[in-house]
Chains A and B, each alone.
Chain A
Amino acid sequence: MTLRPAWSEVFAPERLSTVRALPLPEPLTRQWAFGSSAGAGVRVAVVDSGIDADHPMVGGVQGWAAFRADEATPSGVVCHEMEHADLVGHGTACAGVIRSIAPDCDLLSVRVLGERLSGRGAVFAAGLRWALDSGAHVVNCSLSTNRTNYADLFHDIADAAAHAGVVVVCAVNNVEGTSLPATFASVISVAAHEGRDPMRWDANPKPPVDFGAPGIEVEVAWRGGGTIVTTGNSFAAPHIAGHVARLLAEHPGLMPYEVKTILRACADNVH
Chain B
Amino acid sequence: MSEERPPERAIASVANALSQALAPLGDDLVDWTARTARAVFGAAACSIALLNDDGSELVFTTATGGAESVVSGLRLPSSEGIAGWVATTGQPLAVNDLSGDARFAANVASSTGYMPQAILASPIETDEHLLGVIEILDRDATRAGSDDDLALLSLFARQAALALDAATRSRQIGDLVVAALAGLEAADGEVPAAMRAAIPARDEDGMAELAAAFADLASAGPRERSLAVSLLRDVAGYTRERRR
- Asked if A228 contacts B103 (CB within 8 A), the reply is no
Does B100 belong to the interface (CB within 8 Å)? yes
Instruction: List the interface of chain B (C-beta within 8 A of A).
Output: 51, 55-56, 77-82, 84-85, 87-103, 120, 122, 130, 141-143, 146-151, 154
Inter-chain residue pair count (beta carbon < 8 A): 120
Docked Cα-Cα span, A87 to B85, in Å, equals 9
- Asked if B55 contacts A173 (CB within 8 A), the reply is no
Known contacts A49-B88, A222-B101, A230-B93; 11 additional CB pairs below 8 A are: A4-B147, A5-B150, A90-B85, A113-B85, A114-B79, A116-B79, A175-B92, A175-B151, A224-B100, A226-B102, A230-B94
Does A117 belong to the interface (CB within 8 Å)? yes
Known: A227-B100, A228-B100. A88 touches B150 (CB 8 A): no
**Which chain A residue has the least Cβ–Cβ distance from B77?**
A87
Collect the chain A residues with CB atoms within 8 Å of residue B55's CB. Answer: 116-118
- Asked if B142 contacts A174 (CB within 8 A), the reply is no
- Asked if A228 contacts B141 (CB within 8 A), the reply is no
Main secondary structure of the interface of A (DSSP, over half): loop
- Asked if A226 contacts B101 (CB within 8 A), the reply is yes
**Which chain B residue has the least Cβ–Cβ distance from A117?**
B55
- Asked if B89 contacts A113 (CB within 8 A), the reply is yes
Give the shortest distance, in Å, between A267 (CB) and chain B (any CB).
24
- Asked if B150 contacts A175 (CB within 8 A), the reply is yes
Question: Would you list 9 pairs from A and B whose C-beta atoms are within 8 A, ordered by A residue?
Answer: A4-B147, A5-B94, A116-B55, A174-B91, A224-B102, A224-B103, A226-B102, A230-B96, A231-B94
Does A3 belong to the interface (CB within 8 Å)? yes
Collect the chain A residues with CB atoms within 8 Å of residue B99's CB. Answer: 226, 228
Collect the chain B residues with CB atoms within 8 Å of residue A230's CB. Answer: 93-97
Known: A175-B154, A222-B100, A226-B102. A3 touches B88 (CB 8 A): no
Of A17-25, A139-147, A205-213, the stretch lying at the interface with chain B is A139-147
Known: A144-B91, A217-B96, A222-B101. A2 touches B147 (CB 8 A): yes
Nearest 6 A-B pairs (CB), nearest first? A226-B100, A229-B97, A231-B94, A175-B154, A229-B96, A88-B85
**Which chain A residue has the least Cβ–Cβ distance from B79?**
A114
Known: A116-B56, A145-B90. A228 touches B97 (CB 8 A): yes
- Asked if B150 contacts A3 (CB within 8 A), the reply is yes
- Asked if A224 contacts B101 (CB within 8 A), the reply is yes
Give the shortest distance, in Å, between B18 (CB) and chain A (any CB).
32
Collect the chain B residues with CB atoms within 8 Å of residue A144's CB. Answer: 89, 91
Q: Which one of B88, B93, B142 lies within 8 Å of A117 (CB-CB)?
A: B88
Collect the chain A residues with CB atoms within 8 Å of residue B93's CB. Answer: 90, 174, 230, 232, 234
Does A82 belong to the interface (CB within 8 Å)? no
- Asked if B141 contacts A1 (CB within 8 A), the reply is yes
**Which chain A residue has the least Cβ–Cβ distance from B83?**
A88
Docked Cα-Cα span, A1 to B154, in Å, equals 19
Does A43 belong to the interface (CB within 8 Å)? no
Q: Which one of A49, A113, A174, A228 lies within 8 Å of B101 (CB-CB)?
A: A228
Give the shortest distance, in Å, between A17 (CB) and chain B (any CB).
19
